[in-house]
Chain A
């Protein structure tokens, strides 16, 4: 991809769980062409999977007749991702909570609710935005910036486990 190009890829996927994998593969291709590092590409794939899953499950009630629109805009220094859903569940959440896994394990909280938190941790900017194009529904935007050295990171491997010092 030439340095000053601006490329837009637009996908319309059925609102059915499993189809988020199409967005996942598409964004990986775009991010690869932008020379993001391997690990950053994995982060972006996970973030877009979570965002599309939310759009399918909550934004359109897993109704496959509806569509989730994914717009990937790639330019010199960043990848901008916009995900539109029909807003079937009403207004999106206002904040992003840190998941309370101990509360889930103890049965105090329902399992789940981790997607937005994971997204926020993996990308540079993330959040619901006001539609500017007359779209009726939710729009979720994520931005990932390229930084110097992104394309110079070594490959990651499964070795070198760090359990965070807090094993059971």
Chain B
């Protein structure tokens, strides 16, 4: 019973946005890693993982994101995360993921932070 996730990579002026539409579980590993590698291959220095607020994220999905953090640190990339519900913001803080990725309500807010605003 696999779950589909759509992962889209798009470029903004200051960052590459990876939109995650669907459940972030073990089934998302290949799609997320592939999107991250695509962004990196395009020279991204700032990467925004944009979640959809009501989707399901479990600890296997969080582990995938920690794997991305590991790679991003090696490449000196900045990670930002947006669109998380208050519940998953709490979970991400709980496991310590917010030490490595800034949380913002929206992509616009994250982009503004890269411009020195908000």
Contacts and interface: CB of A to CB of B under 8 A. Distances in A.
Nearest to B58: A49
Interface stretch (A18-26, A87-95, A139-147): A18-26
A158 B105 contact: yes
A56 to B, nearest CB: 10
Given A16-B1, A112-B59, A167-B102, A104 B86 contact: no
Interface in A82-120: 99, 101-102, 104-107, 111-112, 114-115, 117-118
Given A18-B1, A18-B27, A161-B104, A166 B87 contact: no
Chain A residues touching B, range: 35 or more
Contacts, number: 110
Contacts of A101: 66, 95-97, 99-100
B66 A104 contact: yes
Interface stretch (A1-9, A39-47, A68-76, A129-137): A39-47
Interface in B59-118: 59-60, 62-64, 66-67, 69-70, 73, 78-79, 83-87, 89, 91, 93-106, 109
Interface of A: 14, 16-19, 21, 24, 39, 42-43, 46, 49-50, 53, 99, 101-102, 104-107, 111-112, 114-115, 117-118, 121, 156-164, 166-168
